[in-house]
Amino acid sequence: MRRTALLVSAALLTGLLPLASAGAATGAEEPPPVPVDRFEGEVPFASQPAEGIFTWGGDSDDPPKLELAARGDAPEGDKVLSGTYDISGYGGFTHDFAANEPGHDWSAHKGIRFWWDGKNSGKRVNFEIKDGGSNGEASELWTTSFTDEWTGWHQVEIPFADFVYRTDYQPVGGIDQNLGLTEMWGYALTLPTGTPGTFAMDGVELYGKADPALTTKVLTGAAVYPVKEGGTAGVPISVATTGSAPLAEPVTVAYESVGGSAGAGTDYTPVKGEFTFPAGTASGAAHTVSVPTLKDKAAESAETIPLKLTVTGAKAPAETPQVVIDAHGLPYLDTKLPVKRRVADLLSRMSLDEKAGQMTQAERNAVGTGGDIAAYDLGSLLSGGGSTPTPNTAAAWAKMIDGFQLRAQATRFQIPLIYGVDAVHGHNNLVGATVLPHNIGIGATRDPGTAEKAGAVTAAEVRATGIPWDFAPCLCVTRDERWGRSYESFGEDPALVKQMETVVQGLQGSRSGKDLDRDDKVLATAKHFVGDGGTEYGSSTTGSYTIDQGVTKVTRQELEAVHLAPFQEAVDRGVGTVMPSYSSLDIIGDDEGPVKMHADAAMINGVLKDRMGFDGFVISDWQAIDQLPGDYASDVRTSVNAGLDMIMVPSAYKDFRTTLIDEVKAGRISEKRIDDAVSRILTQKFKLGLFEKPYANTSGAAAIGSAGHRAVARTAAAESQVLLKNAGGVLPLKKSQKVYVAGSNADDIGNQTGGWTVTWQGSSGKITDGTTVLEGMKKAAPGAAISYSKDASAPTDGYDVGVVVVGETPYAEGIGDVGNGNDLELTAADQAAVDKVCGAMKCAVLIVSGRPQLIGDRLGDIDALVASWLPGTEGDGVADVLYGAKPFTGQLPVTWPKSQAQLPINVGDTAYDPQFPFGWGLTTLRTPPGGGTLTLKALALAAAAAQKAGSAEAGRAVVGRARLLVQQKVGQDITPAVAKPFADADHLLLSGRYADAVAKLTEAYRAA
């Protein structure tokens, strides 16, 4: 019988959904094979949400070329799937089942098989299947491989038992790491790299009868069971079946305590026995094995008691569960001792292997279920951007991290992990968290109190999910808006960045570190040391990046004044960790050329640790040591000797730890350097209270995304709005007005929050909870006539005013560099929307972006212009200033250029002719003072008095009044003679030189 007939027959019997029921319906001992792909044309070349075959690859030339080719030697039917490939990075193809239909049930079968036209190349081909989740691209990946070691057609059979959970990548962060086989979404093949090749494939089908071990499993509640000495540990052992059906056959479990570091008869009472779950037992039934421990008077490190399980009739647990007798009686566990003594005691007991583990940070996906945490004594884990548990909820985060912390309890000294995330504007990886404005918007507020409150909200929400460490704040001083990380900076002036560093106290609390063990505080990270905001355009050598990770070329004076100053402030504020930059530093005049910051001992050891007195620890950036010249041993040696204390090696943690140990044994890294690094790490772990409280305290979880936290974000969003132009007093709007709203960013929470939101790059659309600008406007003016047309295609007649919200779509890091597929121009659609609305009525244009956009050619047609930056989830804050519930008070944190050719352009430049100068920002708070030069003279005297008295509040108020007076006179006639002293005045204000600031503003006034 041809496979065509088989396919039709199976479809008639079962509809192919669930696929496995065809075999089950016959009652046969061995079910007939069930086709998945015949490649006769029944499955199209398409992609989600439709069913189809599609290609993919790391670069544009990496996806293979596929066709359904007619071949006389086809193993079944007339056609086969054939293709050519020449892959440099990675590439392959996928067959996904339709997302709008139920997943397929493969659980009745032994495995999957297909015909492969071998070339005897000796190359391995990866084959993966997609289990669970909502569709083929949001499933859990299980992988195996086969080797092309024959010539001609050969049927490859792969039992489902051969598939292992993929640890290097999971599209939704993994689900349950259990190959259920009841909701399958297709398969994928990753083709060999390095040399061109061809392939042909045919007849993919399910075969054989399911192994009972695949449908019935014995599970333990956890892999580790800590118990205090003298207590009894209970190890629950349960049985589970696919589909939760009762057991079809009995399952027997024999257990025995054997091996481990604890002594049988001295540390615990040995246990041995057997029990059976009889046929008919309900799925989920459990039996508890008790392991009694014995108490003596000795102080001891932790000791392990493995409980060996032998299972008959089901699949055994993936790991042998361990009872762990907690460490006790040792000085480092004594909370009454000073941290310094606790660290010294623990360090004196640790082996080199254990110390190396503490210096190693792995990514959560790389360690899978976490067994390697204890095996390699890992000190830290992180979630990269978008690396989240499934589901992405606060409870799931806490459960995941608690599971990892439990693994650390199986180590000799039970040193807890320190888990880190990039929470750069709120707990931005977590769906439903409060997402605050990005740093560029916080800088625009000019409000240190708002910065501190933003840090406090972030810390509370992060810690409530069990995470004690935040890779924030970014203290870069952005000097070129072509940089894809511009929005991570508070601004272009180091004085402004320093002013916003109250965020460190919001995150950590007291400068002394005494608040770090609170359930609403986290360890902060000052990044990226040093000069990442000053890289030259065109200097990057990372992929297609143009400026990110490039070279910062400065004089030593510029380095000190611009880039180092914010880090000294952070050290003075007690910041716990510092992260070096990917970029290189080239100090003019020292003749050393560019030096990668991860290798710059003079800056890390010499300046940061020695001169500045930084006593926290230095953490590398993601795989950053791989960018250093030389082999891997050289990368490790150079970075650690340069002063790095912990290395972020997401998936290479085994190689890093082994190499580090080898380098120490060879004498190329001193034990003193290792002890210094580990002491610094342990000190922060003790300060965080992790030894006493390693697990998540979720009592604060109810406040995640709460009204109180969102109120802080709303205020920050309102204060961040910078009113650049307001001809005719178009803003604030009146609730009685009929308003026409348009633009790509008016009703898009993803665009509004920007990069580093839920995923690394962020994305457009409804990606998290929040209020868009449009929704905020409708709430601010209930019952008002507000109409919305995204592309401004709706008729514009009969409206009083238009609001056009335009700008950027999300990006992060070098992906957002100008020249890397990006520029500073509005899209054609945005330009058209602005032109149409502003040509038809009075209009206000809001630019939602991470950096200035070039708007000069349209400025004359725009009545009001607002720099909205990336305001976060609280569009209500934007609406507050649009409708006058709060005044516009924001000021430009960066210079707004007239053209891209002007870049870089910054306050203090000799030639300075911007569209809007640094510090510009109209206000609706109050009317400017009258009196002109006479008033300025009086304000100068008041500023001098405030400066002499050291009164920052009075000084800022006086300079603020002078600034309003100047802006009123200048209007939109911002000449270079006005712009330069105006911007200089804002720098002087930030530096506490109030009298000089008023003098500069007086100069700008006279030039207007």
Active centre residues (catalytic): 621, 813
What is the C-alpha to C-alpha distance for residues 735 and 714, in angstroms, rounded to an integer? 20
Is residue 406 within 8 A of residue 337, CB to CB? The reply is no
Tokens of 299: 């102080």
User: Which one-letter DSSP state was computed for residue 627?
Assistant: G
Of residues 778, 777, 752, the one with CA closest to residue 767: 752
Helices 932-949 and 994-1007 cross at an angle (nearest 10°) of: 160
CA 250 to chain centroid, in Å, comes to 46
Give the E-state strand segments of 824-954 in sequence order: 843-848, 864-869
DSSP letters spanning 452-489: HHHHHHHHHHHHTTT--EE---B------TTSTTGGGS
CA distances (Å), origin 109, targets 205, 216, 776: 10, 13, 54
Range 688-692 contact pairs with CB under 8 angstroms and sequence separation of 24 or more:
688/418, 688/468, 688/469, 688/516, 688/517, 688/523, 689/516, 689/517, 690/416, 690/417, 690/418, 690/468, 691/332, 691/333, 691/414, 691/415, 691/416, 692/335, 692/517
Name the 3-class secondary structure at 791. coil
Is residue 978 within 8 A of residue 1004, CB to CB? The reply is yes
User: Cα-Cα-Cα-Cα dihedral of 169, 171, 175, 178, to 10°?
Assistant: -60
Of residues 687, 715, 713, 699, the one with CA closest to residue 880: 715
Q: How many residues does the chain have?
A: 1008
User: Cα-Cα-Cα-Cα dihedral of 25, 27, 31, 32, to 10°?
Assistant: -60
Q: Which residues of 602-612 are buried (b: 16+ CB within 10 A; e: fewer)?
A: bbbbebbbeeb
Phi and psi, residue 177, nearest 5°: 55, 35
DSSP letters spanning 137-154: TSSEEEEEEEE--SEEEE
The neighbour count for residue 574, using CB atoms within 10 Å, is: 21
Of residues 424, 436, 438, 440, the one with CA closest to residue 386: 424
Fill in the amino acid letter for 41: G
Name the 3-class secondary structure at 84. strand
What is the C-alpha to C-alpha distance for residues 90 and 636, in angstroms, rounded to an integer? 27
CA distance from start to end of the chain: 91
Helices 773-780 and 875-882 cross at an angle (nearest 10°) of: 50
CB-based contacts of 20, cutoff 8 Å, min separation 6: 31, 34, 104, 105, 106, 107, 108, 109, 206
Q: Which residue has the tokens 């059906």?
A: 245
Is residue 796 within 8 A of residue 840, CB to CB? The reply is yes
The runs of H, that is alpha helices, within 240-376 are 339-349, 352-358, 371-375
Tokens of 907: 């306050």
Tokens of 229: 């000495």
What is the C-alpha to C-alpha distance for residues 275 and 282, in angstroms, rounded to an integer? 15
What is the C-alpha to C-alpha distance for residues 883 and 901, in angstroms, rounded to an integer? 36
Is residue 855 within 8 A of residue 751, CB to CB? The reply is no
